[in-house]
Structure 1
Amino acid sequence: MSQDAEVDMKEVELNEMEPEKQPMTGSPSSGSPGTLGEKNGMVKVKVPEEDGEADAGTKFTGLSKEELLQVAGTPGWVRTRWALLILFWLGWLGMLAGAIVIIIQAPRCKELPPQEWWHKGGIYRIQALEAFQDSDADGIGDLAGVEQRIDYLSSLKVKGLVIGPIHVNTPDNLVSSDLQEVDPQLGTKETFAKLLEAAKKKSLKVILDLTPNYRGQMPWFSQETPRNSDFQSKMKAALEFWLEFGVAGIQMEGVEKLNDSQLLVEWKNLTSQYSSDGNARVLIAGTGQRDSWQIFSLLNETSADLLVSPYLMGLGEEPTGEKVENAIREYIQASGEKWPSWSVGGPRTGHMASLVKERLLRLYHMLLFTLPGTPFTNYGDEIGLQEQPGQSGVPHMQWNDSANFGFSSKSLPQGGGSSSSNITVKAQSEDRSSLLSLFRHLSELRGKERSLLHGEFMMLPMLVPDVCVYLRSWDQNKRFLVVLNLAGTRSSVPISHSLLPSEATVELSTDPQRQEGQLALQNLTLEPSEGLLLHFPYVA
């Protein structure tokens, strides 16, 4: 190609050439054929156009509307469209039919039984109010002290608190007792109202104990008093006053000594009148009876919502497995359609840790929270609080290792704390293997798992002495198998039943050393005094 020929050329700029490809020599003055000059490694070169670019202006044009309509109307396309339409509707109808079959064949969920708030978790009793928390340094626990500890009470995952009695009571004197007035040592109506408001914010219900003669020898003053019209009027007025004040229920102790069950029926009707949707009021009766049939006979007569008794105290401090199993069977059989409640100890009988062997303390908590019914716990039972030999009165709640264990800032006789004591809320809150941690876990499970809330109960045959095994199940929900070794030695138990799988998962153990994971039920080994809560899924 000669330099004079007129050819349409393009300029191509070669920028940022790799160092090894950049020219090593050359200058603007040096030239060669086809070059326009070099500067800083840039070379401009004329490249001739390709012949095909001359046709770049040619554009593709599709079919016109008339042509498309003409093609779409051909028999082949018509048949294709109809086939696709029929396939679409057949597929849709097939999916609809499959969904209907699945719905029909799938097992239906069982209808939930009607339950009020007191059926859905534990109830915590602070009836010895003067021993729980002192707020004003006078050495006496009070209502304001309970309010100070409301966050702690909420952390226990219980549903309600039993407070008091708190009314003015001159022992054995009805005339000078005032059922509508708060004892000044315990607080005022204003401090009680603040406590109710604080509890409401934490979704805690407050039940007021209204046992009239709680400081006297007999809870009803005398055998004749309940028949007295003046007494009946005072009781009715007091119930109406406190229910209007905002308490979620009323408790009364010693109902077996009332000698007039019709009164409790009337009081039950009164609490029902103050109930509303989402705000049901409960009537709790307390009795000293230990015979199961007498307990539920009394419950039927009084129409109370719950009847608390020391029934399990009849087991003794170190019962055999057979004795526990028989007691549970008998109590549940006697309850019939009534909702049972369970407790070990109470305001008049003492704390759980004083009534059972220390090795069985954790196992008893597991028992209370996994049986069908409402578990009642006395203040301090969650940390193992107990009465000390020679100690007068009820024990103070032990919060920390400061003076008086944090109960009061007042100097009290024998009130010094001990930095080595682990029977305090502070020490056990920091220990995941503590009794308090176990209590919180059990209480939380009891309030959220349907099988524990209202599931069926089935006691399995005792295959090994001192080992109790029972099953809690509800519809298609997770099942719970409870295995309690009441022996002070290690026990191996082969568990087999048509309703059980070959393996189950550890949910919780009273033995802090127990590892999580799957356990073979045919060859299950329990440590001394260990309680095991296992779970497994529903299988159709």
Structure 2
Amino acid sequence: MEHPEETDALTDRMPLDAGDTGYGSVMGPGLSGGVGGSETAPLLIPEPEPEPTVRWQPLTKAELEAAAGGPWWRRLRCYLVFLFWMAWLAILATSIAIIVTSPRPVATPLQWWQKCVFYQLQPNMEAVGSEGITALCEQLPYLRSLGIGALILEGLFHKEASPLNITATDGSLGTLPQIQHLLIESNKAGLKVVLDFCKVDLYGAGNKPPNLSATVENSLRFWLEQGVAGFAICDTDAAYSEKILLEWRGVLRQFSTKEEEERIVVVKQTQDILPALNNSDQRNTTLVDVVMRSILPLSLQPLSAQEVAHAIETHLLTKEEDTWPSWTIGGEASHELKNLLLVLMMTLPGSPTVKYDEDIDQTQNTSLNIGSSQGQKNEPSDTHTDKEKARRAAVALFTSLSHSRAREEALLYGSFTFLPFNTSINSSSSSSSNSTLASPSSPTILAFLRSWGCVHFLVLLNLGPEIHGLDPAWAPSLPEAGVFVSSTGMNRLGSTSLYTLELQPHEAIVIKLFEGGSYS
């Protein structure tokens, strides 16, 4: 038991507040741990009260105008929108004005004979077959698929036939019912038929009956009723006169009720210059629809490459008359130039007239395939294979040219421009002056351009036996790039550059030119 005196003494030595020594202090509510603050500190610290949230509400008009810069901003925005639409309308009006006022070619409506390819043949040709008319009837859909639009039937009438009756055909070429059947089948296949009266003595050279003209007109009406699309005569025939052609025109007009059924008169030009009808050029253009001209002159032997080049260049440099031309080869040339002349005919202004070609004859191709499969003993199989490849290439070339001509406006009625240019033999540069030939001894390289608007077709013809490259400076105004349309070997595909192009011997090429980055 302790004594009170000892307790008081101990109390005096140990103070109750020991906060300064780091222990013995107990913080209570309201106490801060310091002297005199332990009894005022709360035991739990309350969480801070959340701040008052701002409730969203739309701006007033005054606040919106103040934020947008004031009332003037609305006027500025309306002014800018007005300027935008006015500028857009001005651009649109300018574009329309440029399109309307810019010069562009006007397409002249073409008649059916100006758009089609003529095919000239005799129904009794050995290549057609022993049955003659029947074999030809079977080939009509095939000929139409090649792009042929009209047939010119030759040799149906005797040269010395009676002028009183031209409805009587040569029996060896087919009877009248067979000819009528051919006309019916041709119309079904979409092929026009023109009867050739060239050098047929329609009006007689001796005593003429008084009603001869009426008899001939009745015969013309007979064939027109059978569906004949027209008649062909020579410029040396008695029918080639203003008086007779006026009578024929009156008969043809009676059967030309529709545009696609219009009947025509074709004149084969056998002389260097077509004789004028009483020196009346206007009557000449109205009385004659088509003038068939030969590219090559008649010759007893095939013409050389230089002679062919000279004849072609003469026609290219000669401005033709207003009458619609129909080009045919006419004279004879070497076999190497056959495809080149075909390309030339199909790309010249006018309607091409192709003479019968056994390479595109369906009967010949069929017989060749049969012979190749059976393996004839007389000829090796390689020979038959080469012939078959050549025929297929000829058909492909003909089809490519005819279809390109049918769908391309530039080849139908585009302008024609002859292009003299420099060439280089074997792709070496040439220093020749501005002339068509690279040197006096080199073969002629001919070229011309068919243009319609911004579309250009370039036709290049190499009639010589050597490889030729084009001089880069030959035509600086032409686009450099182009795409192959057709070629004699049918081995040119895709795009090309004129500066790297090489013409093979006896090769013709058709190229569609376009500007860089354009594919029109």
Is the CA contact (8 Å cut-off) linking 2:187 and 2:227 kept in structure 1? no
The residue type paired with residue 257 of structure 1 is D
> Counterpart in 1 of 2:416?
457
Give CA-to-partner distance per residue, 1:462-501, whole Å, 9 cap, x none: 1334233333233424211111111122223426224313
Residue 112 (structure 1) aligned with residue 93 (structure 2):
no
CA distance in 1, matches of 2:370, 2:212: 40
Normalised by the size of structure 1, how large is the TM-score? 0.66
Q: Please, which of 486, 497, 509 is the counterpart of residue 508 of structure 1?
A: 486
How far does residue 93 in structure 1 lie from its aligned partner after superposition? 2.2
Residue 344 (structure 1) aligned with residue 322 (structure 2):
no
Is the CA contact (8 Å cut-off) linking 1:292 and 1:330 kept in structure 2? no
> Counterpart in 2 of 1:152?
142
1:178 alignment partner, SS class: coil
> Counterpart in 2 of 1:250?
230
Is the CA contact (8 Å cut-off) linking 2:152 and 2:193 kept in structure 1? yes
Is the CA contact (8 Å cut-off) linking 1:146 and 1:195 kept in structure 2? no
> Counterpart in 2 of 1:483?
460
The residue type paired with residue 150 of structure 2 is G
Give CA-to-partner distance per residue, 1:104-123, whole Å, 9 cap, x none: 33533211123212212311
> Counterpart in 2 of 1:375?
352
How far does residue 530 in structure 1 lie from its aligned partner after superposition? 1.1
Cα pair distance change 1:295/1:487, threshold 3 Å? farther
How far does residue 189 in structure 1 lie from its aligned partner after superposition? 6.7
> Counterpart in 1 of 2:215?
234
CA distance in 2, matches of 1:417, 1:173: 48
Give CA-to-partner distance per residue, 1:59-99, whole Å, 9 cap, x none: x9998xxx999999999697666555444443222112112
1:359 alignment partner, SS class: helix
How far does residue 437 in structure 1 lie from its aligned partner after superposition? 0.7
Cα pair distance change 1:399/1:141, threshold 3 Å? farther
The residue type paired with residue 121 of structure 2 is I
> Counterpart in 1 of 2:364?
398
Is the CA contact (8 Å cut-off) linking 1:452 and 1:473 kept in structure 2? yes
> Counterpart in 2 of 1:37?
none
How far does residue 175 in structure 1 lie from its aligned partner after superposition? 4.6
> Counterpart in 2 of 1:517?
495
Instruction: State the number of aligned residues.
Output: 429
CA distance in 1, matches of 2:404, 2:385: 25
Cα pair distance change 1:457/1:176, threshold 3 Å? closer
Q: Please, which of 341, 346, 356 is the counterpart of residue 364 of structure 1?
A: 341
The residue type paired with residue 442 of structure 1 is L
Is the CA contact (8 Å cut-off) linking 1:488 and 1:529 kept in structure 2? yes
Is the CA contact (8 Å cut-off) linking 2:183 and 2:193 kept in structure 1? no
Cα pair distance change 1:171/1:131, threshold 3 Å? farther
Residue 223 (structure 1) aligned with residue 199 (structure 2):
no
> Counterpart in 2 of 1:304?
288
CA distance in 1, matches of 2:170, 2:62: 98
The residue type paired with residue 223 of structure 2 is W
Residue 313 (structure 1) aligned with residue 314 (structure 2):
no
Give CA-to-partner distance per residue, 1:416-435, whole Å, 9 cap, x none: 999754698x8667x4xx11
Give CA-to-partner distance per residue, 1:147-187, whole Å, 9 cap, x none: 322221122112222235657x6953345653599986364
Give CA-to-partner distance per residue, 1:13-57, whole Å, 9 cap, x none: xxxxxxxxxxxxxxxxxxxxxxxxxxxxxxxxxxxxxxxxxxxxx
Is the CA contact (8 Å cut-off) linking 2:290 and 2:326 kept in structure 1? yes
1:256 alignment partner, SS class: coil
Is the CA contact (8 Å cut-off) linking 2:461 and 2:507 kept in structure 1? yes
CA distance in 2, matches of 1:404, 1:272: 48
Is the CA contact (8 Å cut-off) linking 2:460 and 2:510 kept in structure 1? yes
CA distance in 2, matches of 1:127, 1:72: 94
2:119 alignment partner, SS class: strand
2:357 alignment partner, SS class: coil
Cα pair distance change 1:79/1:339, threshold 3 Å? same
How far does residue 309 in structure 1 lie from its aligned partner after superposition? 3.9
Is the CA contact (8 Å cut-off) linking 1:308 and 1:343 kept in structure 2? yes
2:184 alignment partner, SS class: helix
> Counterpart in 1 of 2:20?
none
Pairs within 5 Å for 1:278-297: 278-287=259-268, 289-292=270-273, 294=275
Cα pair distance change 1:448/1:514, threshold 3 Å? closer
> Counterpart in 2 of 1:496?
474
Residue 173 (structure 1) aligned with residue 162 (structure 2):
yes
RMSD over equivalenced CA pairs, Å: 4.2
> Counterpart in 1 of 2:95?
102
CA distance in 1, matches of 2:140, 2:493: 33
CA distance in 1, matches of 2:81, 2:177: 76
CA distance in 2, matches of 1:319, 1:111: 41
1:474 alignment partner, SS class: strand
Pairs within 5 Å for 1:521-532: 521=499, 524-532=501-509
**Gapped runs of 5+ residues in structure 2?**
1-54, 372-377, 421-435
The residue type paired with residue 245 of structure 2 is L
| Percentage identity across paired residues of the two chains | 20
Cα pair distance change 1:157/1:177, threshold 3 Å? closer
Normalised by the size of structure 2, how large is the TM-score? 0.69
Cα pair distance change 1:81/1:70, threshold 3 Å? same
Rg larger for: 2
The residue type paired with residue 161 of structure 2 is D
Give CA-to-partner distance per residue, 1:376-412, whole Å, 9 cap, x none: 01222653x8xxxxxxxxxx9524126998xxxxxxx
> Counterpart in 2 of 1:141?
132
Which deviates more from structure 2 when the two are superposed, residues 325-334 or residues 481-490? 325-334
CA distance in 2, matches of 1:199, 1:374: 20
Give CA-to-partner distance per residue, 1:328-348, whole Å, 9 cap, x none: 444763522222221024xxx
CA distance in 1, matches of 2:482, 2:174: 55
The residue type paired with residue 208 of structure 1 is V
How far does residue 209 in structure 1 lie from its aligned partner after superposition? 0.4
Is the CA contact (8 Å cut-off) linking 1:131 and 1:397 kept in structure 2? no
> Counterpart in 2 of 1:24?
none
How far does residue 243 in structure 1 lie from its aligned partner after superposition? 2.7
> Counterpart in 2 of 1:208?
194
Is the CA contact (8 Å cut-off) linking 1:319 and 1:486 kept in structure 2? no
How far does residue 457 in structure 1 lie from its aligned partner after superposition? 1.4
> Counterpart in 2 of 1:30?
none
The residue type paired with residue 407 of structure 2 is K
> Counterpart in 2 of 1:29?
none
How far does residue 294 in structure 1 lie from its aligned partner after superposition? 4.6
Is the CA contact (8 Å cut-off) linking 1:150 and 1:199 kept in structure 2? yes
